[in-house]
Structure 1
Amino acid sequence: MPAAIQKFGGSSLATPEKIRQVAEVVARSHSAERGSVVVVSARGEETDVLLSAAAELGAAPPPRELDQLLATGENAAAALLAVALHDRGLPAVSLTGPQAGIRVSGTHGAGMISAIDTSRLRAELGRGRIVVVSGFQGGDGRGEVITLGRGGSDTTAVALAAVLGARACEIHTDVPGIYTADPRVVPEARVLPTVDAAVMAEMAFAGARVMHSRAVELAASHDLDVVVRGTFSAEPGTTILGRSADMLETQGPVTAVAHDMNIAMALTRSDHARDGLAADILTELARSAVPIDLLSFGAPDGPGFRMGFALPGSRLPAAREALDRISARLGCATEVDEKVGKVSLVGVGLLNRPDCTARLLAVLARLGTTASWVSSTNLRVSVIIPLDRVPDAVNALHQEFGLGRDDLEAQTLVTA
């Protein structure tokens, strides 16, 4: 029988008392017959504390040293939870990412899991131990630790569930599930009982913080369900379906409103357009593991070249370095605006429903807000607006599409 896979976020492990409570949650679900693997994030605000300490000692800490430093947060959390499990009479062992066989490739701070050697994990499970794994990290095969970037612990848990043959992966967090909008911004937001993996991936990329898009995409590729629930809540939470749900055309196309207030918009210009310039710019950003969104380029107003795109705030320092190299090598000038936010409608079939985009823009107009950038796909319509207008826009859109009602427009129906 495949092992049970659970992941606990940093807020669930912030204090010794909470670690004891997590140990109780693990104990209740643990079965000696199938075993348990638990993935943990760094405790509370530990990652921010470590980053602040590094910033005090150096203006630009080397990425390799940051990975060495940040990995200690997850390692400490894993060891402390193992201690708490031992205290409850449950045999447990903590493993770092490399000790758990997680092989990572790519750059420091933005690695990607390339393989997992499960021999150590299976051996520890065979000894009857609960295995507590440090999330967010792995080894590159040369003895170097590489972290996975934001949401890396979710990705670690899903990857382990996939290679160990689990049917589902449980993500325990400080909220009771996936909401129709951020409940801190929209008090009327509701928990979705189920959500399609493709829709959830778009929600995550659009700014929903409960899970990272990489973890959702990985789960979907392995037909793995992911259950997101509150660590200390009895509520069932939200199931992210590893298989596509059957949708009815009469159902509302909008599932949720997502927003991201930690982005920047970049506009790159050159007086001289040439074939391949856009590819050169994107290649340079890719080398620095900088994901982009809302890409558009061309020269609609005359000669020259112009390309705009959104950048995640977490990768902005790396993006600025890449853009500086682009400017020096390719003769481009780039402006970066950090006083903007992204608001997105997420759902299904949105390209066939232009009325959704029209209603979005009409809502912004009623608020006296104009979108500086609009992009649409079949699963998402996103706009860039001034940062200080984001909360009002999210609330108004949530109301416009009826996402707080009992007959939730976006409710997903699953047929047998």
Structure 2
Amino acid sequence: MWKTVKKLDGVILFVLLLLMIMSVVAVYSGTRFDPKLDSHHVKTIYFYIAGFIAVIGIGLINYKLYVKYALLLYGIGILFLFLANVLGSKVNNANGWLKISESISFQPAELFKMILILFLAHLIVKRKRGELGFWRDVVPIGCWTFVPFALVMAQNDLGNALGYVVILVAVLWIGNIKLKHAIIGVTIIGAVLIGFIKSYTFYHEEVFTFLEKIKREHWAERIDPWLVPEKATAKAMWHTKNAGLAIGSGGITGKGFLEGTSVQSGRVPYTYSDSIFVVIAEEFGFVGASLLILLYFILIHRMVLIALGCKDRAGPIIIVGIIGMLLYQVFENVGAFLGLMPLTGITLPFISYGGTSLLINMACIGLVMSIKLYGDEDEDELLPEEQGPSLMQRIWSLVTQGKGKSHDVS
């Protein structure tokens, strides 16, 4: 077993260790002024210890086993999402947290990211090589993704719901979608996005009234500072405005650890979770923020190398899905405070405080480690019982054979 553990990617483990240090330091700085949060940095250490155990534990198990039983995992994940809709408690306007005890709770929407990646890989590797057919492959895969998307949207969690869409796009891309379908998809997404922006800015009052009726007015408070800052309320601008000022005041080297005036005064909310990038940028400046981005780059680079060295299709699909998930979270979180994206409440991977988010991200790295260990095995060993024709293909074969027999008799 020890020989197997030594084969794990040491660079990735070292990067995770550095991210842990940055996370603990930033969480401590972002919670020091609030006595109710003064133990969050200690909890982050505990979460990371559990996360490293998950990396090693999941990494030692052949990832093909996870792919084989992905349908079962999908069903369990959907059940958790449904329970979160019915029994979940509300945190920051999102009604998607299941309480295990008074002090322990988890967010099924975060867990389902990893499940969705495994399940989409399961669907793609079941078919033979070649480009994905639109009606045969793309549409069914999209429908499977729409189910959790709708459940999470019902929880009022736009950030995680959009994450599912990003995972879908990444998996379809690596799954060999046809170029014309990809162009059509990009065109539709672009047209919808442009149409949304134009409609939102032109019919802002009507949209805001509608959101108030469906009790989603906080969506406008997050979108207004991004699209129409001149029409945004002072409450809506408070978060992004103060965050932007804090980031800008950090300069090249920052104000110093525990010296961030905006962070330590509490002018920036959620500095331990959604706004933790502001803590790093104000107190450690451009240098600290650049170091964080560099660590993300190294992590993703190592994952790409592992994907390139994998012999079967499931491994690269899983890794690209994980990369898409992480890139979306990083770009959305950082971009929201730079005016590039709306504020959706997405956590910064491996840095923000949060047990569920961190453990799921670490578990995904465990999958990457498993691919490194077992990705050199032949693809035929993946799902041998499912490599045959599908039910619809067998029915179509019977129909065509029946036509051929009737022709011969005549």
TM-score of Structure 1 vs Structure 2, range by shorter chain? under 0.3
TM normalised by structure 2 equals: 0.24
- Structure having greater relative contact order (Cα 8 Å, sep ≥ 6): 2
Larger radius of gyration: 2
TM normalised by structure 1 equals: 0.24
Instruction: Give the structure with the higher percent helix.
Output: 2
